[in-house]
Amino acid sequence: MNDTLIINTGADKSSNCRDPYDHLGPVEWVQKQLDWCEQSQNISGRGLLEVIKSLEGKLVGVEIGVCNGVTSELFAKEIDNIEKIYAVDNYPSFVDWDGTRVTEERQAETMRRCKERLSKYPNIEFVYKSSEEFAPTIQDNSLDFIFIDGDHSYNATLKDLINYWPKVKTGSVFAGHDINLSTVSDALKEFFKGEKNIRMVENNAWYIIK
């Protein structure tokens, strides 16, 4: 059993958990998450649909931090020219910025439901690895899009930016989620140093055309 991670996004970890469903067992808890995230307006990557649709040719992309799989599913269903999506997540236990306890048991149920969802799509390959482990398996200048929605701590976000920026082609979509968190926005500022136009779309997603 792995130690529980603390996702440090600058919130006060001494405060009580604000998750109203923390008392529920893993199956019921995951269902509550699904009830929310399956609503179309809540899908984290939905604001990127038209951006990725504008890309030509057979597309290969990556989602880091798949969770329930709804963004990967949305892309596979709505973008006709996607050849492959690598859905990357190793489902670590952690305590989120608002005190939500994402335990090993809850993550196991989340992964089970995600794999069941994504198994319907032959162009989605589920990858049970951390983003750092997966990065060396992808050739530079080979991806048409990437959506970074994993560990949102400053150090982890910066590492994902460093590891995956070389992987996307010129003219492709380099994107992520939760730019509203200071840890994410600070990592973006540090990595790009104002040299790139970071565009924001709905649900706190961001993207850059490389």
pTM, entire model: 0.90
- What end-to-end distance do the CA atoms of the chain give, in Å? 39
Q: What is the pLDDT of residue 17?
A: 76
Per the document, the length of the chain is 210
**Which phi-psi region, left, alpha or beta, contains residue 10 (left: φ > 0; alpha: ψ -120 to 50)?**
left
Per residue in 97-108, pLDDT (tens digit) is 778 899 999 999
Q: What is the pLDDT of residue 195?
A: 85
Architecture of domain 45-209: 3-Layer(aba) Sandwich (3.40)
Closest CA to 157 of 136, 137, 174: 174
Per residue in 78-127, pLDDT (tens digit) is 999 999 999 999 999 988 877 889 999 999 999 999 999 999 999 999 99
- At residue 157, does pLDDT exceed 90? yes
Q: Tell me, what amino acid is at 148?
A: I
* Mean pLDDT within 142-157: 96
- At residue 198, does pLDDT exceed 70? yes
Is residue 153 within 8 A of residue 107, CB to CB? The reply is no
Q: How confident is the model at residue 16 (pLDDT cuts 50, 70, 90)?
A: low
Question: What share of the chain has pLDDT > 70, as a percent?
Answer: 92
